[in-house]
């Protein structure tokens, strides 16, 4: 296990270098930089621009020079200051990362909490109306674009007034809230975006769960277990579910990663202050240090996601030995 983890983490290094280099190259290639918008304003003098250029290390248009500069700083843990927010990139990102993780975890709980029982139910009640209803529901979740679903939810919130339409905390009374009220307020704001992301993710896992379960239920050892006179429930949960769930676990890490990156649109619609929106805004504002740091973090998250699922799989399935891989 240890060697496996170590090897996977070491493989992350060339990947990160490739990813950040591509990002840097594209950022340099894109016309204009953060200063070009400043230059248009008549109150900003040419001297100031020159000074800022030095300060931000934007003087060279050579990708390798710029990347080398960024890399030497980054390996020392210095990811620089955000141009736009004028604060250390990491502080900015940590704050947003928490919000995004909160959203992702809530969506995960919703999607997995429903996907597994519903998938099993659909498989057991195969070809009945229950199965068809669940099947229809999963097609719905698979096909609805997250933008459209989010907008529908905003419309619902605005029309009924039951849920807040944007942000993650109350704009007016936040400071007067007791800690408990604060938690309640955030959860209240969290409900709709988490529901959107959760439903969309749920559809996929439910289908997967159903087909795995059907496959497992047709195996010989299930028939043997039934023939032994074990109760239906015991066969289902002890023998079938344990085996059917394995391939689903691989999806787990992947789902976590896709929630992190796939949440951009939902975050935008709900004005949720998460990583996705931060990155997109940074990109639009050409806030280079912020973009680079976000890309690093997102890539690490993606890799960690798949790593987690590999480890989970090894823990659950005794047949899998990570050392051999």
Judged by the rule CB under 8 A, the positions of this chain that interact with another protein are 15, 18-19, 22-23, 26-27, 29-32, 139-140, 142-145, 147-148, 151-152, 154-155, 158-159, 165-166, 260-262, 264-265, 268-269, 279-280, 283-284, 291, 294-295, 298-299, 302-303
Check: CB of residue 309 under 8 Å from CB of residue 253: yes
DSSP state of 236: I
CA–CA dist 293, 304 (Å, integer): 16
Nearer to another protein, 29 or 172 (CB): 29
CA distance 143 to 268: 20
- Pick 28 or 102: Cβ nearer another protein: 28
Compute the least distance from the CB of residue 206 to another protein, in Å.
14
* Cα angle for residues 160, 163, 164 (degrees, 5° grid): 115
How many Cα atoms are found within 13 Å in the side-chain-facing hemisphere of 9? Answer: 8
> Which residue's structure tokens are 């004005």?
271
Rounded Cα distance, 251 and 102, in Å: 19
* Integer Cα distance of 116 and 248 in angstroms: 9
- Least CB distance to another protein at residue 101 (A): 15
Cβ proximity to another protein, 124 vs 151, nearer residue: 151
Q: In angstroms, what is the minimal distance from the CB of 153 to another protein? A: 11
- Decide whether 82 or 294 has the Cβ nearer to another protein: 294
Compute CA distances 128 → 131, 290, 292, whole Å: 5, 52, 51
- Which CB sits closer to another protein, 29 or 180? 29
Q: Minimum distance from CB of 19 to another protein (Å)?
A: 6
Closest among 305, 303, 299, 307 to 22, alpha carbons compared: 299
Minimum distance of another protein from residue 231's CB (angstroms): 30
Q: Which is nearer to another protein, 219 or 261 (CB)?
A: 261
DSSP string for 215-226: HHHTSHHHHHHH
Q: How far is the CB of 13 from another protein (least distance, A)?
A: 12
Residue 243 or 294 having the CB closest to another protein: 294
Q: Rounded to whole angstroms, how far apart are CA atoms 185 and 130?
A: 36
The span from the CA of 27 to the CA of 33, in Å, is: 8
Give the shortest CB-238-to-another protein separation in angstroms.
27
């Amino acid at each position: 296990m240890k060697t496996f983890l170590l090897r996977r983490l070491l493989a992350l290094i060339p990947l990160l270098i490739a990813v950040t280099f591509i990002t840097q190259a594209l950022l340099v290639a894109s016309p204009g930089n953060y200063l070009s918008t400043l230059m248009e304003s008549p109150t900003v003098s040419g001297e100031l621009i020159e000074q800022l250029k030095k300060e931000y290390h934007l003087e060279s248009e050579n990708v390798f020079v710029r990347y080398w500069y960024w890399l030497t700083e980054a390996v020392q843990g210095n990811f620089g200051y955000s141009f736009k927010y004028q604060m250390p990139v990491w502080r900015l990102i940590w704050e947003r990362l928490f919000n995004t993780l909160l959203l992702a975890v809530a969506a995960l709980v919703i999607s997995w909490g429903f996907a597994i029982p519903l998938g099993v139910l659909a498989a057991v009640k195969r070809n009945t109306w229950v199965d068809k209803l669940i099947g229809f529901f999963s097609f719905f979740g698979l096909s609805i674009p997250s933008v459209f679903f989010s907008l529908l939810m905003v419309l619902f919130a605005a029309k009924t007034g039951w849920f807040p339409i944007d942000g993650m905390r109350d704009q007016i009374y936040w400071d007067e809230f007791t800690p408990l009220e604060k938690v309640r307020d955030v959860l209240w704001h969290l409900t709709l975006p988490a529901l959107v992301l959760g439903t969309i993710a749920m559809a996929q896992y439910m289908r997967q769960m159903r087909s795995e379960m059907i496959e497992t239920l047709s195996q010989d050892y299930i028939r043997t277990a039934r023939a032994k006179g074990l109760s239906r429930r015991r066969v289902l949960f002890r023998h079938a579910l344990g085996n059917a769930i394995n391939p689903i676990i691989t999806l787990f890490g992947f789902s976590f990663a896709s929630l992190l990156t796939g949440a951009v649109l939902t975050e935008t619609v709900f004005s949720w202050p998460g990583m996705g929106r931060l990155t997109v805004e940074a990109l639009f504002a050409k806030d280079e240090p912020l973009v680079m740091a976000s890309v690093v973090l997102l890539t690490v998250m993606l890799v960690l996601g798949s790593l987690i699922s590999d480890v989970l799989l090894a823990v659950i399935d005794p047949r899998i030995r990570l050392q051999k891989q």
